[in-house]
Amino acid sequence: MAAGCGAGTVGHAIYAARMATSRQPGWWRPRRDRLILVTGGRGLLGRHLSETDLTRRYSWVAPTSSALDLRNRERVLEHVRGWKPSVIVHLAYRRDAASIVGATAHIAEAAAACRARFIHLSTDLVFAGQEQPYTERDAPDAPQEYGRWKAEAEARVAFWCPGAVIIRTSLLYGTVHLAPWQDDVRQRKPILWNEGELRCATHAADVAAAIAVLVRRREVRGPLHIAATAAISRAGLAQAMAGWMRLPDGAVRTAPGIAPGRPGRVVLDSSLAASTLGIHCRPLAAALR
Ligand SMILES: NC(=O)c1ccc[n+]([C@@H]2O[C@H](COP(=O)([O-])OP(=O)(O)OC[C@H]3O[C@@H](n4cnc5c(N)ncnc54)[C@H](OP(=O)(O)O)[C@@H]3O)[C@@H](O)[C@H]2O)c1
């Protein structure tokens, strides 16, 4: 199978090693005409992305963090040079500076070197929170480390790949593949869900579908907000999820206000993606139907 992939020596070696040992056979699919590199492919959004038509339209390379640690610049440049992807979708992250800022800089530099279409995933938490929805014209002002690292990562992407699209989305959930916070709800962990923390909770499949559109629409560049339009509190969201999971009343504990160090109302205005690209994310009630 590796012989058909068209990637360089490094790529062949990795394919061979991974194909021999992989417990996740879906991480690599044979080359058809073009190659897409997905980082973080085993994560929540990556699993949804692997269910879009991108896997039919492209050869699919999605190395795990143990196969390719994005914090290692030399290895990233070497592997991407070998693969020569025409598209890179960068989903990988972990909540530390090296895995967000450093890793993003490395993969963006590699994308620039092979002139790949670059799609970067960022977050609404680059913003501090305010009454009005945030548009793409608003400047990041995150008070927390995570949001500041993600904002810095956006800047690195803009530096290396000015033609990249930087998707900012909100709190993600799934209905087949669940987010860790949904597992917390299902397991009835003793968590307080706050009523003052408002986000535009979005089904990961809708963001994955938007990514598939943006792979084609290479002229779209810069920040783009992609999220459901309605804001919902984390308390309301946890309760809705508990209802969807048919948990008994009282399974979710809620609290007023905002937990220390967490943002309050962070609402993305996604009307630009809707009006120019026809990208719409389902409201929670429709997605949970
Ligand atoms: N989930 C949300 O609510 C949410 C909200 C807004 C924005 N986003 C953004 O959406 C993107 C995807 O989020 P997600 O929830 O799908 O993430 P996730 O489920 O936590 O998955 C992240 C993936 O990143 C990979 N990774 C971590 N460190 C790495 C490294 N050093 N080198 C290579 N791979 C590494 C991991 O791979 P392995 O499994 O192989 O270790 C993991 O599968 C992120 O950029 C995130 O900031 C997410």
pLDDT of 232-259, one tens digit each? 999 999 999 999 999 999 999 999 999 9
**Angle at the Cα of 126 from the Cα atoms of 278 and 268, rounded to 5 degrees:** 35
CA of 286 to the centre of ligand 1 (A): 26
Distance separating alpha carbons of residues 84 and 103, to the nearest angstrom: 18
Instruction: Ligand 1, residue 70: give the atom nearest the CA.
Output: 32
Per-residue pLDDT tens digits for 23-62? 344 445 444 459 999 999 999 999 999 999 999 999 999 9
CA of 168 to the centre of ligand 1 (A): 14
Measuring from atom 20 of ligand 1, which residue has the nearest CA? 43
CB 164 within 8 A of CB 157: yes
Instruction: Ligand 1, residue 173: give the atom nearest the CA.
Output: 3
Distance separating alpha carbons of residues 70 and 262, to the nearest angstrom: 28
CA of 103 to the centre of ligand 1 (A): 12
Q: What is the dihedral of CA 91, 94, 98, 102, to 10 degrees?
A: 10
Per-residue pLDDT tens digits for 189-214? 999 999 999 999 999 999 999 999 99
Q: What are the C-alpha distances in Å from 95 to residues 100, 165, 260, 266?
A: 7, 22, 18, 19
Short-list 240, 123, 108, 237, CA closest to 170:
123
Query: Is it true that domain 2-174+203-230+268-284 has CATH number 3.40.50.720?
Result: yes
pLDDT at 6: 29
